Structures are given as structure tokens and as C-alpha cells.
Amino acid sequence: MVKIRIIPCLDVKDGRVVKGINFLNLVDAGDPVEQAKHYSDNGADEICFLDISASLENRDTMVNVVKKTANEVFIPLTVGGGISSIGNIQALLKAGADKVSINSAAIKNPNIIKEASEYFGNQCIVVAVDAKKHNNDWFVYSHGGTKKTDLYALSWIEKVQKLGAGEILLTSMDKDGTKSGFDNELLSKVSEFLKIPVIASGGVGTLDHFYDGVVKGKADALLAASVFHFNEISIKEVKEYLKDKNISIRD
């Protein structure tokens, strides 16, 4: 059976890791390559880079970061943040990324999902969805969660699956940063109809939260940033904890 994946996410700005300063053994803690290697050595199943650079020029530095990472890290690498064209995707894949994650560009022009998945294969097209609950419905937010759209999250996710997305990276904006657990209600609703894998994101704070994401949220993969960066929980601890509870995990 395929294993539940644990994915650390690194926020990268202008080629430097923004969070993640607590690894004392790293020569340069701000170097995304070193951080990615650290996570890979400690059992991460994949690595995710989120580019939060403000300007387009600085986005080019991401391509170089990916190139350098490919020298050192031999697990799948997903890159997201500000991807807006087939050209962006091609540059990142050619540099050694295995998947790209598209968010705002897909909301603006859903057809980019179809184009990209037909051209590069749907396995490398992840669609990131930032969702927030209003009354009883979840709505999609764009631009790094700053702009509310009129899209219903569940129907949007169904649509992007149809357009050829290979995976959904689902972030709950209600839960993000709260350390109160994933939004398992939203996750399980999505997992029910989704035929492609869903990566849970936003809200994890304890080992139990990882377990609940799998059992209650029915997620295929679990993404976390701050708990790993600030060394509150190590990837090894998560994997041992889940394994003890009979969740299928890679050793």
C-alpha cells in the first residue's frame, strides 16, 4: 500500500529561507538547499518550496535554488508561489523540480491547469487551494490568501480535478497558524469525492493532529511548516508516532 507522505514546506524569499532558523547544526540556516537536505536526511517524503518573493526578477533566483537542490536532494521536490505561465513551469521542471503548485494563476485562468497537465503530465501539476469558511460554505482565496473569491472551494476542487490537476494542496485559512489541527471537516468532504491525492495543510501543532489528518481528514499527505522549522516536532517523531498507530509510513 502506498505510504502516507510527510512534507515539510519551506517559505523562500529572494532565494533565502524566511522561517526556519533553529537548526544549530546547519552551516547556513538561511540556505534552502541545506534545509531541504536536512529534512531529506531526516525522513521527509517530499520537499515543498513556497516562493514568497515580491518581485518577478527575484523569482528567477528560485530556478537557481531548485538547480542547486537537485545536486543534493534525491526525493521529490514541489515548487509553488507566483507561477503564472507554462514558461515558468518549464523552467522549474527543467531545473530539477518534480512538481509545481499553481494557485492564483489557476483562479485567473483555469485553462492553465489543462494546458500544463497535457503538456507536462498531470503528475507534476499540483493545484494549491486556500479555503476559508463563511457560514456553512468554504470559499477560495487567492493571492496568498489575501483576496476572497466567489468560488466555492468544493466545486472549484472538483473542477480543477477535471481540468487535469494531479494533486490538491488544500490549506485551511481558518486553521493556518492556529496549531489547533487540520480542518478535518473540510478535508474529509474533499477526500470523499476526490480521485487524486489531497495534501492537508494548515493548523498542525501536535503529533495527534497528524494522526487526525489521516484518520479523520483522510488526507494522502500531510504538510507542515512551522512545527518542523522551529524544531517543535521532528519528522522522525511524526513518523514513529504514526507508525505506532498503524498508519502506513515509510521507514
Contacts to another protein by CB under 8 A: 1-3, 5, 40, 45, 67, 70-72, 74-76, 93-98, 120-124, 166-167, 194-197, 220-221, 250-251
- What is the H or E stretch that residue 32 is in? helix 32-41
Closest approach of Cβ 123 to another protein, in Å?
4
Looking at beta carbons only, is 93 or 106 nearer to another protein? 93
Kindly tell me which of 123 and 178 has the beta carbon lying closer to another protein: 123
Residue 71 beta carbon to another protein: minimum distance, rounded to whole angstroms = 5
Paired residues of 180 in beta bridges: none
**What is the grid cell recorded at 126?**
499540483
Query: In this structure, what C-alpha cell is assigned to residue 241?
Result: 508516532
Of 120 and 156, the one with the shorter C-beta distance to another protein is 120
Minimum CB separation from another protein for residue 98, in Å? 6
Is 130 catalytic? The answer is yes
Give one DSSP letter per residue of 209-249, joined into a string.
Answer: HHHHHHHTS--SEEEESHHHHTTSS-HHHHHHHHHHTT--B
The yes-or-no answer on residue 220 being catalytic is: no
Of 145 and 197, which CB lies nearer to another protein in the complex structure? 197
Cell numbers that stand for 50 in this block: 513556497
Q: Of 31, 45, 98, 130, which is the active-site residue? A: 130
**Please, are residues 245 and 31 in contact by the beta-carbon 8 Å criterion?**
no
User: At 49, phi and psi to the nearest 5?
Assistant: -105, 130
Nearer to another protein, 33 or 107 (CB): 33
C-alpha cell at 166: 494531479
Q: Report d(CA 21, CA 35) in Å as an integer.
A: 10
DSSP single-letter state for residue 195: S
C-alpha cell at 142: 487567492
φ, ψ at 76 (rounded to 5°): -60, 140
Q: How far is the CB of 31 from another protein (least distance, A)?
A: 17
Minimum Å gap between C-beta 6 and another protein is 10
Q: Which residues are catalytic?
A: 11, 130
